[in-house]
Amino acid sequence: MSSQLFQQDVLFYQRFLKANGFYTKKLDGIWGSNTDAADKAFEAKGREIATALGTFDKTSENNIATLAPKVQALARKFLKLATTEGRDVRIISGTRTYAEQDALYKKGRYGSTEGIVTNAKGGQSNHNFGIAWDIGIFEGGKYITADKKYTALAGLVMPNLPELEWGGNWTSFKDNPHYQHKAISEKVADVRAAFELGQPYV
Ligand SMILES: [Zn+2]
């Protein structure tokens, strides 16, 4: 999803912009000239990071654009390492607004016949603050699910990127395709509290 979609959820986007140093005014959910200027500054920062650290496939690019700037930089360093030796690794998921997370949570619940895809409601996932991304490994254009491929990749990239956390290291809910930038706390509730106040969390 594109960062432009955040514009439909102005309060969410203002929190994101404020916590990442682009917006200093009131979190009022109204798109005015200050929010507009912050939006433009955020997009410009993203282009600057892309120029410095390289660009990747279109899916990855669309998802990287939804991440906090520090996290964009880390994601690009990650992809550079991950895609060496001809590996086809893409970032297939980035930031989700609380509303998008709630929609995902409803899958497989409340009479929905689809499979359950997440245990997190809006504000309960690190994907809701711009610090997390999920990858897909592809071979011959086909999406690969084999755990050992994801574990091998983590073994390759993790020693080189100290700010990186890998979902495969989690004990309660192992999540091999998931990566995130280390935040102020390992507790989602702490990150959420900072995010909602527009305070730095990464
Ligand atoms: Zn994830």
The answer to the question of residue 61 being in a domain is yes
**HSE (side-chain half, CA atoms, 13 Å) at 55:** 11
What was the pLDDT predicted at 3? 58
Give the helix, strand, coil percentages of the chain, each rounded to 5.
Answer: 50, 10, 40
Element (H, E) at 166: strand 164-166
pTM, to two decimals: 0.94
Give residue for tokens 């000239």: 33
The answer to the question of residue 83 being in a domain is yes
Q: How confident is the model at residue 8 (pLDDT cuts 50, 70, 90)?
A: confident
CB atoms within 10 A of CB 141: 6
For ligand 1, the distance from its centroid to the CA atom of residue 164, given in whole angstroms, is 13
Q: How far apart are CA 172 and CA 180, in angstroms?
A: 16
The count of domains in the chain is 1
The answer to the question of residue 183 being in a domain is yes
The answer to the question of residue 151 being in a domain is yes
CATH number of the CATH domain containing 103: 3.30.1380.10
What would the two tokens of residue 64 be?
Answer: 């990287």
Residues in the chain: 202
Q: What is the crossing angle of helices 33-53 and 69-82, to 10°?
A: 20
**pLDDT of 1 strictly over 60:** no
The answer to the question of residue 135 being in a domain is yes
The answer to the question of residue 202 being in a domain is no
The answer to the question of residue 20 being in a domain is yes
**Tens digit of each residue's pLDDT (9 = 90 or more) over 110-156:** 888 888 888 899 999 999 999 999 999 999 999 999 999 999 999 99
Distance of CA 75 to the CA centre of its chain: 9
What would the two tokens of residue 83 be?
Answer: 């895609």
For ligand 1, the distance from its centroid to the CA atom of residue 32, given in whole angstroms, is 32
The answer to the question of residue 27 being in a domain is yes
Q: How far apart are CA 154 and CA 144, in angstroms?
A: 15
For ligand 1, the distance from its centroid to the CA atom of residue 179, given in whole angstroms, is 7
**pLDDT of 5 strictly over 80:** no
For ligand 1, the distance from its centroid to the CA atom of residue 178, given in whole angstroms, is 4
Which range marks the domain in which residue 69 is found?
3-197
